Chain A
């Protein structure tokens, strides 16, 4: 698998990991803030769920830009490694949750045979990452002990957040990047060039 990847594609994943690794760390604070705001209404558990889609965005963006098997999984894992390298206090556990989220996102791309990268597939992939990561949290964060209505509603919020933030925002960011021309050497940029040629011809 790794032999099909060019070095520049791996460094790209790593750079995305660095940029979003920092954003991920910052969003822990945002999540904690939201949690405190919602706490008086008895809605504290939703604090992180609202923004949860942020944590899957690297998977979606990398897969959409590079369009190769295994990219969604590896990119998220690399972002996790980078977070550990940056000295995030959440430590090695991050690798585990990154691998699980990445696997969730990869699943949908695998089902399309890594050929379909339309918006609906990206949104589905984000939602799949949400569901799979939620299953892991049921176990690791002890959420299974919570009331059923709370489990179902937090899952719903997480899925919506993943669809919007990682699916829609992830695609939008990648498209904006492609427009600047820096992605010319990667699958998404090449596709954009082909389209332009076709339109002018």
Chain B
């Protein structure tokens, strides 16, 4: 049972995470996103083996971001979203019950996005994701392997940046001051880095083609990615609970879509 989410087909997992993310954008009440956030947390901690401390560390930036969103929305909410009595006011801002509610809702919604994407990122292997895109979503092999080839260059870029820095130092190029100096410095790093990257892109493409890579979609696969019943079960779980939360919220009279109560 532990870590069952990491064995879910990556493409299906991605859609199962994206759809709630899109649909939650409709809601402007506190109840709906809060309930779904609790569901995501339950799924995260029962069906994966991510250590809580690690998760908290990665989740804390989302807390800051979400409170920023909530605060902004609270202060600047427009008339449709800021009904109700004035709770407090300072400087030029007047904070009403309605705007507090909208603010908290927007904050909770972005926490939902954050929790969903963490659940996805921490349980998904990059290469498997690309292979699944190719085998389930019919992404062309040319693009799939093209992306993977480019992605593999990342560690080399770090190394190269170091080399450029050392090359500058050995030739006595010092850090420049002022805006013009900064621009110059940016150019001195960015252009060689990109130029080397492009050279490598060309070389790796020629190497792939010379070894017989044609990009033909009709090919065999060493690692087969499949969509099984349990992958679809996970999909149904994520979307089903979202629908249930919407229905429950509607039933209890909380549901608010674009500031309109239902």
Residues of A in contact with B (beta carbons under 8 Å apart)? 2, 5-8, 10-19, 22, 32, 35, 42, 44-45, 74, 78, 81-82, 84-93, 95-96, 139-142, 144-148, 150, 173, 176-177, 180, 182-183, 185
Return chain A residues, CB-CB under 8 Å to B17: 91-92
Tell me whether B80 and A145 are in contact (CB under 8 A). Answer: yes
Tell me whether A89 and B25 are in contact (CB under 8 A). Answer: no
CA distance A85 to B206 in the complex (A): 24
Tell me whether A180 and B72 are in contact (CB under 8 A). Answer: no
Tell me whether B73 and A91 are in contact (CB under 8 A). Answer: no
A139 to chain B, nearest CB (A): 5
User: A15: which of B109, B116, B153, B190 is its contact (CB, 8 Å)?
Assistant: B153
CA distance A65 to B98 in the complex (A): 50
User: A142: which of B105, B130, B140, B200 is its contact (CB, 8 Å)?
Assistant: B105
Q: What is the number of contacts between chain A and chain B, taking CB atoms within 8 Å?
A: 178
Tell me whether A82 and B151 are in contact (CB under 8 A). Answer: yes
User: A7: which of B73, B116, B208, B258 is its contact (CB, 8 Å)?
Assistant: B208
B125 to chain A, nearest CB (A): 10
Return chain B residues, CB-CB under 8 Å to A86: 151, 154
Is B194 an interface residue, CB under 8 A from the partner?
yes
Is B78 an interface residue, CB under 8 A from the partner?
yes
CA distance A14 to B130 in the complex (A): 13
User: B151: which of A18, A32, A139, A141 is its contact (CB, 8 Å)?
Assistant: A18
Stretch from B141-149, B218-226, B240-248 contacting the other chain: B141-149
Tell me whether A19 and B193 are in contact (CB under 8 A). Answer: yes
Return chain A residues, CB-CB under 8 Å to B258: 144
CA distance A147 to B114 in the complex (A): 25
Return chain B residues, CB-CB under 8 Å to A14: 146-147, 149-151, 201
Tell me whether A7 and B215 are in contact (CB under 8 A). Answer: yes
Q: Residues 90-129 of chain B: 1 if any A CB is under 8 Å from the residue's CB, otherwise 0? A: 0111000000001001100110011011101100001001
Q: Which residue of A has the minimal Cβ distance to B17?
A: A92
Tell me whether A145 and B78 are in contact (CB under 8 A). Answer: yes
Return chain A residues, CB-CB under 8 Å to B76: 45, 146-147, 150
Tell me whether A91 and B201 are in contact (CB under 8 A). Answer: no
Stretch from B61-69, B162-170, B174-182, B231-239 contacting the other chain: B61-69
Q: Which residue of B has the minimal Cβ distance to A81?
A: B147
Tell me whether A89 and B114 are in contact (CB under 8 A). Answer: yes
Tell me whether B150 and A15 are in contact (CB under 8 A). Answer: yes
Return chain B residues, CB-CB under 8 Å to A176: 187, 191
A164 to chain B, nearest CB (A): 13
Is B14 an interface residue, CB under 8 A from the partner?
yes
Q: Residues 150-161 of chain B: 1 if any A CB is under 8 Å from the residue's CB, otherwise 0? A: 110110010000
Is B213 an interface residue, CB under 8 A from the partner?
yes
CA distance A21 to B170 in the complex (A): 30
Tell me whether A44 and B72 are in contact (CB under 8 A). Answer: yes
Return chain A residues, CB-CB under 8 Å to B69: 141-142
Q: Which residue of A has the minimal Cβ distance to B119?
A: A91
User: Given known contacts A139-B25, A142-B28, is B142 in contact with A7 (CB within 8 Å)?
Assistant: yes
Tell me whether A141 and B68 are in contact (CB under 8 A). Answer: no
